Amino acid sequence: MLGPFNRMGRRKPMNEINVVPFIDVMLVLLVIFMITAPMLTQGVDVELPQVTSEPIDSNDNQDPIIVSVDSSGEYFVSLSGDETQVSLDELSQRVIILMERNPGTQVLVRGDRRVPYGDIVTLMGTLQVAGVANVGLISEPPPAEG
């Protein structure tokens, strides 16, 4: 006789795991993470200029120092996702400290396209005085036409 009953008519215990509740929980978590992930993006709202260019080769595994200038001219320093608003003088001091800790760290500038060119040049001059020899500029690729 087939089925969950033995000869005496008693029910024997099932030795299978019911995974349906586990799948339900995983699907709920997946939906939650898909909804909240875009909300977790942090940083300064910067509208980058769109330029066709080659990406910078990064040979080291160090996170770059990212200096951002938003549309209102405020300066931000970011290292490993930790972003801090600073004045131009504080920016110089902070970059000097970060470069002393990790010499050879790459420095990148994210400048909003609406920021006057003079402000970006002033920022780059400040970085040069702080001891940064090479500064990379971050841009976005232009939208694909099609």
DSSP string of 88-132?
Answer: HHHHHHHHHHHHHHSTT--EEEEE-TTS-HHHHHHHHHHHHHTT-
Q: For the chain, give the percent of residues with pLDDT over 90.
A: 8
How is the chain split into domains, by residue range? 42-146
pLDDT by residue (tens digit) across 31-52?
A: 998 888 776 655 556 665 666 6
pLDDT by residue (tens digit) across 120-135?
A: 888 888 888 888 878 8
Q: Name the residue with higher pLDDT: 3 or 21.
A: 21
pLDDT by residue (tens digit) across 76-115?
A: 988 877 888 898 889 888 888 888 888 878 888 888 888 8
The answer to whether domain 42-146 has CATH 3.30.420.270 is yes
Q: What is the pTM of this model?
A: 0.59
Q: pLDDT value at position 1? A: 47
Torsion of CA 18, 23, 25, 30, to 10 degrees: 170
Q: pLDDT value at position 25? A: 94
